[in-house]
Structure 1
Amino acid sequence: MKLVLFDVDGTISDSQAQICAAMDYGFTELGLPVPPRAAILSIVGLSLPEAVARLVPDQPPAVQDRIVAYYKQSYMAHRKVEPAPLYPGAAELLHRLAAREDIFLGVATGKSRRGLEALIAHHGLEGLFFTRQVADDHPSKPHPAMVEAALAETGVAPGAAVMIGDTSYDIEMGRAAGVATIGVAWGYHPVADLVAAGAGRLVADFAALEAALEEFLGESA
């Protein structure tokens, strides 16, 4: 058996509108300057407290905690009105992969368990992911804990696993855990960042991703 792990935000789901709106709300409520959109997208993938700390390292922990609380409030409100869409082709590929008998499918995400479960339920992805590693249970990416937990849960060796993501944090996390990595070009970090992080492969669309996975699964058989 092999293990195929996906990041969520920026890889499966295009949640940038909700993320930016929630961060805007958190900063505005405290009368703080809202970070540029590029800066907000640069921290997608980190756990929320770590993301906020990177955006405002000069603010005391109490202020950072209030930004986190306002962010969660806004994000949940937006999610109820307009859940983040999946990228075209994402659901179809996930269903094809989940139907295979030679792999475990999983996610390793900076989202909370509640956020991930809401996304899965909204888009009809129940039953696809054997392992779900979320920010509630682990240190923030790029710490390898999420991938290591997924390997332990499935019993798969690092050489038979691959981490797929759109940020340098995903690539660094996968490499730290000793698994193969695939960077996707449609997400929130520039391709140059994925290259610098050491991505084993880069793909431009879901068709190319599926082809890369077929190659990986064949090589790791």
Structure 2
Amino acid sequence: MPAYRTAVFDLDGTLLDTLEDLHLSTNAALAARDMPTHTIDDVRRFVGNGIKLLIHRAVPAGTDAATEAAVYEDFCAHYAAHCEDHTGPYQGIPELLAHLRAAGVTLAVVSNKGDFAVQELVARQFPGAFDAVLGENEAAGIRKKPAPDMVRAALKRMGATPEGMVYIGDSEVDVQTAANAGCPCVSCTWGFRSVDELLAAGATTLVDTPAELERVLLGLDASAAR
């Protein structure tokens, strides 16, 4: 029997390496307004709390709200057209998902990325792999992470209960989300945050590869985590 009945995954930095496309779309939106661009490491630090906060962190301090909103719209248009140019699963993720499904684990994705991009990316990169997929949709009253709303909405869509659930992510936002949802968290070290940053955020279970994650989720080797 697997160690968990339900596994809820973050997307960016956990399942998909999206950083280069996020970086390019951020800089394209900034350059269109003659604003200074950022390094990929800057954008790595900016992501995790949704597109609007990514853009708020990327525009120069003191940018007026109307201009910031225009940069956001430019980003969304560019990212919608280019979100898969350099994006793909981390090595071992497709196999992990297949093995979890074969073991009867219910799977979901919850992401602070715009729902338009989440639905497209998951449908194209992981067809049929997930039982529920949610991107940012605060307009519907579902608060974004680290609030527990998205996790609860995913459970409702799947007809699942919080018992036997685990949350998997790569950032401090994910550690907080799991705590707010009242479930264990497994933190992936291959994503957008360093081990030190994860530990500082309160991460208690870390895995270095999807193969290690699989062993933890299926209860095959508890010592795989650190």
TM range (shorter): 0.7 to 0.9
**1:74 maps to which residue?**
78
Counterpart CA distance in 1 for 2:218 and 2:150 is 24
Could you tell me which runs of 5 or more consecutive residues in structure 2 were left unpaired when the two chains were aligned.
Answer: none
**1:127 maps to which residue?**
128
One-letter identity of the residue aligned with 2:117: G
Post-superposition CA distance 1:8-63 (Å, at most 9, x none): 11111111110000000111111111234322112322211122223345322212
- The percentage of counterpart residues that share the same residue type is 28
One-letter identity of the residue aligned with 2:33: L
Residue 116 in structure 1 maps to residue 118 in structure 2: yes
Counterpart CA distance in 2 for 1:45 and 1:108 is 12
One-letter identity of the residue aligned with 1:114: F
Q: CA deviation at 1:148?
A: 2.1
Q: Give 1:135-214 correspondences, 5 Å limit.
A: 135-137=136-138, 138-214=142-218
Counterpart CA distance in 1 for 2:205 and 2:87 is 26
One-letter identity of the residue aligned with 1:65: A
| 1:199 partner SS | coil
Which consecutive aligned stretches of 4+ in structure 1 deviate over 6 angstroms post-superposition?
none
One-letter identity of the residue aligned with 2:215: A
Could you tell me the TM-score, scaled by structure 1's length?
0.87
Counterpart CA distance in 2 for 1:92 and 1:36 is 32
Could you tell me which runs of 5 or more consecutive residues in structure 1 were left unpaired when the two chains were aligned.
Answer: none
Is the CA contact 2:7–2:167 (under 8 Å) kept in the aligned structure 1? yes
One-letter identity of the residue aligned with 2:131: F
Is the CA contact 1:159–1:180 (under 8 Å) kept in the aligned structure 2? no
| 2:52 partner SS | helix
**1:94 maps to which residue?**
97
Post-superposition CA distance 1:174-201 (Å, at most 9, x none): 1111111011011111111211222231
Match of 1:26 among 20, 26, 29: 29
Higher helix share: 1
Counterpart CA distance in 2 for 1:46 and 1:217 is 32
CA RMSD, Structure 1 to Structure 2 (Å): 2.2
Q: CA deviation at 1:67?
A: 1.3
Q: Give 1:25-64 correspondences, 5 Å limit.
A: 25-56=28-59, 58-64=62-68
Counterpart CA distance in 1 for 2:192 and 2:130 is 23
